[in-house]
Chains A and B, each alone.
Chain A
């Protein structure tokens, strides 16, 4: 089955802990993205990566870190520096390489993070 997988589906974190959210895709897509969704605020871009070993900050990168060591994987770490991490985290991928701008994105099922 081709698609985007995220794990875990639910994650509970204590204050002061770092946690890593997994995102894997087997669609051979070039670009991958991380978004955060809060009630009433839409989707906000955290980080994105167009190619392996390269990534850029999105609109709300503070308190987060990523890596892109493999084309199919783009894990997100939520650090203790993120002040309000409780949210629904969505990973997306896009088949388009750097030269294209159509940029249709397809989403994984999401991880719901709750800070206790």
Chain B
């Protein structure tokens, strides 16, 4: 099983719709979870972090974490063409000096005008 797995894409949604991006992870000891947005040719940008079970909302973005089921998701409400990008899920494994992120391969989102 891959350490961090994102559902296969690409994902295409119409403008104004809700985009749902999912991610599963294998290490039950993982403690923190992140979503990055990466536009083509650019570096990743941190858009959401979540550390405890439940939902975390920031503007049009909602991150959801379920540690028992080992998944984390990102919902984008009222999707805009500017949301078209690749979204990377990252999971923090280990603690202290061994703390490091493992990234999924990403899913490409396309928002149709």
Using a CB–CB cutoff of 8 Å, the interface residues on chain A facing chain B are 33, 35, 40-43, 45, 48, 50, 56, 58, 90, 96, 98-110
A18 CA to B94 CA, complexed, in Å: 32
Q: Residues of A contacting B32 with CB < 8 Å? A: 101-104
Given contacts A100-B99, A104-B46, A109-B43, 16 further A-B contacts (CB under 8 A): A33-B100, A41-B105, A42-B88, A42-B106, A43-B44, A43-B88, A45-B101, A45-B102, A50-B97, A98-B96, A101-B94, A102-B31, A103-B32, A105-B90, A106-B46, A110-B42
Q: Is B34 an interface residue (CB 8 A)?
A: yes
Using a CB–CB cutoff of 8 Å, the interface residues on chain B facing chain A are 31-32, 34, 36, 42-46, 49, 51, 88, 90, 92, 94-97, 99-106
A41 CA to B86 CA, complexed, in Å: 13
Look across to chain B and name the residue whose beta carbon is closest to the beta carbon of A48.
B100
A11 CA to B99 CA, complexed, in Å: 30
A35 CA to B42 CA, complexed, in Å: 14
Q: Residues of B contacting A48 with CB < 8 Å? A: 100
